[in-house]
């Protein structure tokens, strides 16, 4: 009798837990959904440094992203050194024909993410890692922006010495970078297409 009661109680608790989860997922005030929908690409940053504990948490959330076969196939380098960031800016300005462009919009931290060239799905892993990092940052009031142009520059002959300082293994190639910092702007949201998404039932 006691065993039957315990089993019934456990079943009731499990059903209650599932119901609560379903309600949370569909609720308008779901903080996870709000965080996803509120993230914007930031292209103007305050000079304030990101606190180390927050930066560590952003990185931690990145490496907890799903990844194929648990390979954790990414390599990540986060540059916060102001002198190196200034050097990147200086050479990037020359690379972009003196357009006075700042490579990472003045962000105080830039993550460089490289994929494993020996694993055909490593780029997917790296994308998931970066998504986690940007959403974690947004939840702490820290802005971000994906930087394809900076990665293109860093893999050019003009930036060979800078790329070498990131010390990626020979098996890896830089895929993209992400700027992180406290936003100095509040961009309006851009719309999103829905015609290129289909549910096949």
- The whole domain housing 116 covers 42-181
Residue 143: CB partners within 8 Å, gap ≥ 6? 40, 42, 45, 137, 179, 180, 181, 182, 183
Confidence of residue 17 (pLDDT cuts 50, 70, 90): very low
Q: Please check whether residue 196 lies inside any domain of the structure.
A: no
Are 80 and 155 in a shared domain?
Answer: yes
Q: Which tens digit of pLDDT belongs to each residue from 30-77?
A: 999 999 999 999 999 999 999 999 999 999 999 999 999 999 999 999
Domain containing 77 — which CATH number?
3.40.109.10
Q: Please check whether residue 138 lies inside any domain of the structure.
A: yes
Q: Which tens digit of pLDDT belongs to each residue from 79-88?
A: 999 999 999 9
Are 117 and 139 in a shared domain?
Answer: yes
Q: Which tens digit of pLDDT belongs to each residue from 152-167?
A: 999 999 999 999 999 9
Q: Please check whether residue 201 lies inside any domain of the structure.
A: no
Question: Structure tokens of 54?
Answer: 């927050």
Residue 132: CB partners within 8 Å, gap ≥ 6? 61, 62, 64, 65
Are 8 and 83 in a shared domain?
Answer: no
Q: Please check whether residue 147 lies inside any domain of the structure.
A: yes
pTM beyond cutoff 0.95: no
Question: What stretch of H or E contains 99?
Answer: none
The arrangement of strands across the sheet holding 75-79 comes to: 75-79, 109-116, 172-181, 143-147
Are 50 and 66 in a shared domain?
Answer: yes
Which pLDDT belongs to residue 26? Answer: 52
Which pLDDT belongs to residue 99? Answer: 72
pLDDT, mean over the chain: 89
Are 52 and 123 in a shared domain?
Answer: yes
């Amino acid at each position: 009798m006691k065993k039957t009661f315990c089993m019934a109680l456990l079943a009731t608790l499990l059903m209650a837990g599932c119901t609560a989860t379903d309600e949370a997922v569909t609720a308008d005030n779901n903080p996870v959904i709000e965080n996803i929908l509120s993230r914007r690409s930031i292209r103007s940053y305050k000079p304030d440094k990101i606190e180390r504990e927050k930066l560590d948490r952003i990185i931690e959330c990145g490496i907890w992203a799903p990844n194929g076969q648990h390979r954790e196939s990414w390599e990540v380098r986060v540059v916060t050194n102001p002198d190196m960031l200034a050097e990147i800016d200086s050479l990037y300005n020359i690379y972009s024909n003196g357009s006075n462009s700042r490579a990472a919009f003045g962000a105080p931290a830039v993550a460089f993410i490289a994929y494993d060239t020996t694993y055909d799905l490593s780029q997917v892993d790296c994308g998931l890692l970066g998504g986690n990092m940007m959403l974690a940052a947004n939840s702490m009031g820290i802005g971000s922006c994906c930087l394809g142009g900076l990665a293109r520059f860093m893999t050019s002959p003009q930036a060979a010495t800078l790329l070498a300082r990131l010390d990626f293994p020979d098996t890896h190639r830089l895929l993209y970078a992400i700027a992180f910092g406290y936003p100095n702007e509040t961009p309006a949201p851009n719309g999103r297409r829905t015609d290129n998404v289909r549910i096949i039932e």
